[in-house]
Amino acid sequence: MRQKPIPLPPLNGFPPVLSQDIHTLILGSFPGRESLAQRQYYAHPRNQFWPLLSKVLDDDLVSLDYESRLQRLLSHRIGLWDVITMCEREGSLDARIRKAVPNDFARLKRECPLLKKVCFNGKVAGAYAARLAGAGYQTLLLPSSSPAYASRTFEEKLSVWQKIIL
């Protein structure tokens, strides 16, 4: 007799980092295990998110504590969130995400009236690009900052990430 797989506990994502002043939003897929443990976006030390944004913005976000990073990001009028609010997943790989529940993107129109561009950090997040483009936003698919996405160098990723501010 075949045993049923043990159900995984549901995981909850993080609240958005938004303000009424943002013109750009970066959406990831869902926090990895290290990020969930630390309760911080992009907490894995090998994730290139903060180094990439530091270069793009010409502002050293890496050396700041987490709360200061978020405030500095908002000062550049850039918000941060994920496309998934809740899911099941073993480990940190996006490919293992199951039973994904998307975030409520309708709130963006109400809470971020100046928002024009939505950037997607990786392909799983990018699967939501058509939905947000249909809502009237300019969209940009970014190569993933994840350490699991090593097929592109930092410089190759940076060349696309520079388009965040264009």
Those residues whose C-beta lies under 8 Å from the C-beta of residue 61, and which sit 6 or more positions away, are: 50, 53, 54, 69, 72, 73
* Edge-to-edge order in the sheet of strand 84-88: 11-12, 84-88, 98-102
**H helix or E strand, kind and range, residue 82:** strand 78-82
Instruction: Please state, in angstroms and rounded to a whole number, the distance separating the CA atoms of residues 78 and 73.
Output: 6
Q: Which amino acid belongs to residue 55?
A: K
Query: Residue 111 in contact with residue 20, Cβ under 8 Å?
Result: yes
Catalytic residues: 47
